[in-house]
């Protein structure tokens, strides 16, 4: 894993060096800069593959091509052998050089051959063409901006801000998206001047024009497309996961595993132990607050699999203490504090001498594990008899940790969960979540409300849907929304890459192997969720590999304490200033009066429910973002916000 950056038709090597310096947390082992007329590439490296020979930026033999590469191509060994048979000669053992030679062999279509997680830039000197690419699922980030006709790209937005010409105004429509979907919809970012290359896309800058195009799309098979026997599909899934884990263990440094105590990470740990042939090194987060703690299952899994285990025990004060650093690395507002414990976890991994960890991320999206999939199924079941007083009890059983929900009558739940017996719309599964989050916009200032009022983020998202979406059932639509938007925008960004790389740790995700994702997309829904038994086929293939208590436990989503963390002593250093009426008015994003009432509600112990928690977290995180990346030009509000 690394940090990459570059410039075209802008600045000089000094700018690229400044950009690299902002990325040293992503690559503390070494750095490099390539500079030629009108172009510069920069690199900050974590040495994982070919420790001595993988220096970057890296050229081909005649130096007509240069690459700066972030990530891993896990099938690079097989691709290298194929290229050697075709006459290619290699100077290193790195996967970076394989990317370069695949580009020489197949041009921009080379990305279709890669199994991995990547963001890279290739400078083609002969054509004076800059080629960028990002992996299929969006594991690795890639941002770009175009100041005054130039072009800059980087792994993180803060590197682009090393150029004083890059404006730092908030994108208010992106803020509206965060306060609906939890993250900006690519290509938007939190900043108007900066875009992100969407997952599964490439970009080329040539002859003064910028072209962006997709090379991969997520597609699902209709329900009747797979009638294979369950046993055979279970065996095939396990074989794919085993091979996905095997190639992700390719490393010249030790590889650890995140062990959350759930099905997904425990299975990856089991496969790691089987394939590596030694005792897995595992890491986890535990919480002082019993409501969020899963350490019992973590210990059981560790004992069953004979791992060498460490955990970071996280208090509310710990979350409050690191939250400003979390926002500095996330570079976007957050409505949950869940990234903060993962920030602390990656520090534990690095302090333990590890640079690489495997995780179980992606299984819920690919195999149908999230509560939102169950919720949609329950809502459709309830909608057949909207007047029922018994069917809403299923929702209360689904969310036992939501105390406020447990006290509500059926009529309230019917309205909140949109159970009216009508035909489900295209976003049936996500409407309750989005509308709950959108209620946080009540805290916006009058000026912000006026600027975003004409905008409809849900309508924009609907306009982006693939043609096949209309043929998918509710379950597959929910999977698509989670995988195509929530996964790269929040899970892999704010909770994934940015928190791990804050401490120079590379995360690897066997469940996001393109073969696994495409296989799962072809599975019939009945094998993903049987009645309300989530990830059914995955549980079948896990078999005796993991402890029965872990395999059979009810799904517990990863959560962390939210709003109450900001009442802790560690928050006093920043909270009183950031939420003061003067600061709220100066930054201009929120209305001081409702923010003051919200804070008073928490301090008096009257704050309850998801909405209050998300509201306080969203306000604090946005204020921190403005404070840390404030525009030297002053105003955040812009009459061009709708552009």
Active site residues: 2
Give CA 268 to chain center in angstroms: 19
* C-alpha distance from residue 602 to each of 241, 292, 606 (Å): 45, 20, 6
> For residues 180 and 46, what is the distance between their CA atoms, to the nearest angstrom?
35
Q: How many CA atoms lie within 13 A of 47 on its CB side?
A: 13
CB atoms within 10 A of CB 590: 23
User: Are the C-beta atoms of residues 255 and 277 closer than 8 Å to each other?
Assistant: no
Q: Looking at beta carbons, which pairs linking 527-534 to residues 24 or more positions away fall under 8 Å?
A: 527/230, 527/233, 528/367, 528/368, 528/373, 528/475, 529/368, 529/373, 529/374, 529/377, 529/475, 532/374, 532/377, 532/378, 532/394, 534/367, 534/368, 534/369, 534/370, 534/373, 534/374
The b/e string for 122-155 (b: 16+ C-beta within 10 A; e otherwise) is bbbbeeeebbbbbbbbbbbbbbbbbbeebbbbbb
Kindly list the strands in the beta sheet with 201-206, ordered across the sheet, starting from the edge strand earlier in the chain: 58-59, 65-73, 116-124, 129-134, 201-206, 209-214
Pick from 609, 562, 602: which is nearest to 406 by CA?
A: 609
């Amino acid at each position: 894993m690394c940090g990459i950056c570059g410039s075209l038709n802008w600045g000089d090597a000094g700018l690229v060096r400044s950009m690299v310096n902002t990325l040293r947390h992503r690559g503390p082992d070494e750095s490099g800069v390539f500079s030629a007329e009108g172009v510069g590439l920069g690199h900050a490296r974590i040495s994982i593959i070919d420790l001595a020979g993988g220096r970057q930026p890296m050229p081909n033999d005649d130096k007509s091509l240069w690459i700066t590469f972030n990530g891993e191509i896990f099938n690079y060994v097989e691709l290298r052998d194929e290229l050697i048979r075709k006459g290619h000669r290699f100077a290193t053992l790195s996967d970076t050089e394989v990317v370069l030679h695949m580009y020489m062999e197949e041009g921009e279509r080379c990305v279709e051959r890669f199994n991995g997680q990547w963001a890279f830039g290739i400078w083609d000197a002969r054509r004076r063409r800059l080629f960028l690419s990002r992996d299929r699922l969006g594991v690795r980030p890639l941002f770009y901006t175009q100041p005054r006709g130039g072009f800059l790209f980087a792994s993180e937005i803060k590197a682009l801000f090393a150029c004083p010409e890059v404006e730092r105004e908030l994108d208010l429509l992106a803020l509206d998206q965060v306060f609906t979907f939890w993250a900006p919809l690519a290509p938007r970012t939190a900043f108007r001047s900066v875009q992100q290359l969407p997952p599964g896309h490439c970009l080329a800058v040539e002859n003064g024009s910028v072209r962006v195009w997709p090379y991969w799309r997520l597609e699902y098979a209709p329900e009747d497309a797979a009638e294979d026997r369950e046993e055979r599909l279970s065996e095939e899934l396990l074989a794919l996961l085993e091979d996905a884990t095997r190639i992700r263990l390719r490393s010249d440094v030790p590889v650890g595993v995140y062990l959350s105590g759930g099905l997904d990470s425990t299975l990856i740990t089991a496969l790691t132990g089987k394939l590596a042939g030694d005792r897995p090194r595992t890491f986890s987060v535990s919480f002082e607050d019993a409501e969020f703690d899963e350490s019992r299952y973590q210990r059981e899994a560790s004992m069953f699999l004979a791992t060498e285990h460490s955990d970071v025990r996280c208090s509310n004060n710990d979350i409050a203490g690191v939250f400003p650093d979390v926002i500095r690395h996330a570079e976007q507002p957050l409505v949950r504090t869940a990234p903060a414990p993962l920030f602390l976890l990656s520090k534990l991994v690095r302090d333990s001498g590890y640079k690489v960890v495997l995780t179980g991320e992606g299984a819920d999206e690919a195999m149908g594990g999230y509560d939102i999939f169950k919720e949609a199924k329950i809502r459709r079941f309830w909608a057949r008899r909207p007047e029922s007083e018994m069917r809403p009890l299923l929702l209360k059983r689904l969310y036992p940790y939501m105390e406020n929900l447990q006290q509500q009558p059926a009529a309230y739940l019917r309205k909140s969960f949109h159970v009216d017996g009508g035909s489900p719309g295209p976003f049936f599964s996500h409407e309750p979540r989005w509308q709950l989050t959108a209620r946080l916009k009540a805290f916006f200032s009058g000026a912000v409300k006026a600027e975003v009022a004409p905008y409809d983020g849900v309508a924009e998202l609907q306009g982006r849907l693939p043609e096949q979406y209309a043929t998918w059932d509710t379950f597959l639509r929910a999977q698509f929304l989670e995988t195509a938007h929530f996964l790269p925008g929040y899970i892999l960004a704010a909770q994934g890459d940015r928190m791990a790389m804050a401490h120079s740790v590379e995360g690897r995700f066997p469940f996001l192997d393109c073969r696994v994702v495409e296989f799962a997309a072809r599975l019939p829904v009945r094998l993903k969720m049987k009645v309300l038994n989530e990830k059914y086929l995955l549980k079948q293939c896990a078999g005796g590999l993991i402890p029965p208590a872990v395999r059979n436990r009810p799904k517990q989503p990863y959560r962390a304490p939210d709003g109450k963390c900001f009442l802790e002593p560690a928050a006093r250093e920043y909270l009183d200033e950031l939420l003061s009426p003067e600061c709220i008015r100066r930054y201009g994003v929120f209305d001081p009066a409702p923010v003051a009432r919200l804070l008073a509600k928490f301090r008096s112990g009257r704050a309850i429910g998801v909405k209050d928690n998300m509201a306080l977290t969203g306000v604090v995180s946005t204020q921190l973002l403005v404070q840390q990346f404030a525009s030297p030009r002053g105003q955040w509000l812009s009459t061009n916000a709708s552009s």
